[in-house]
Homo-oligomer: A and B are copies of this chain.
Amino acid sequence: MASTDPIRRGRRPGDSGARDAILDAARTRFAGEGFRSATVRAIAGDAGVDPALVMHYFGTKQALFVAAMEFPLDPAQVVPRLLGPGIDGLGERLVRFLLTVIDDLGDANPMLGLVRSAVGHPDAARMMREFLGEAILDRLAQAIHEAIDTDRPRLRADLCASQVVGVLVARQILALPELAAADRETLVAAYGPTIQRYLTGSLDP
């Protein structure tokens, strides 16, 4: 058998993929605990790597966060695609899309990382507000304005966002039991009309 199994320093042979392992671990930790609670040491541990290597690749924890939370979908493509078939039925499409993405991303969901961090850190909240606004909500407001003649289309977009964020927090973070257990189409039927009304329905008293 091999004698002692010393941890060697220095470069390992082959393409180690350590960078990707770090990014993966960071996504999962940030998504599960938020920026503050997730530690560089824990991320390095998950990736099977020394903490200093994390700094070697990314410089600071902040920069690692930015790199790890880079959204895997480009809003500039997704938003138009969802809007493609027209604003009718957009509520349903949007909810179904959201739930599908949540399922696909699993534990390493940047949306959860961003929400968790924004909620505990005013700077992150400002970043998320600006990102959400410019990348998604302003576009959505523009589409609403073109589809129906209403004032304050951005308020309608914000209302949609409030329900989407609510789903994320109540279902994925608080894990309210029946909400977490409900299957996708049940939730599409429940939330779809809500979003659709925020988009195009009457909001008068």
Residues of A within 8 A of B (CB): 33-34, 36-37, 115-116, 118-121, 125, 128-129, 132-133, 137, 152, 154-155, 157-159, 161-167, 169-171, 173-179, 182, 185-186, 188-191, 193-194, 197-198, 203-205
- Cα distance A177–B37 when bound, in Å? 28
Number of this chain's copies in the assembly equals 2
Main secondary structure of the interface of A (DSSP, over half): helix
Residues of B within 8 Å of A121, CB to CB, are 33, 37
- Cα distance A72–B198 when bound, in Å? 32
Residues of B within 8 Å of A204, CB to CB, are 189
Asked if B36 contacts A174 (CB within 8 A), the reply is no
Smallest Cβ distance from A188 to chain B, in angstroms? 7
- Cα distance A166–B172 when bound, in Å? 13
Residues of B within 8 Å of A179, CB to CB, are 155, 158-159, 161-162
Asked if B36 contacts A173 (CB within 8 A), the reply is no
Residues of B within 8 Å of A116, CB to CB, are 119-120
Residues of B within 8 Å of A186, CB to CB, are 155, 203
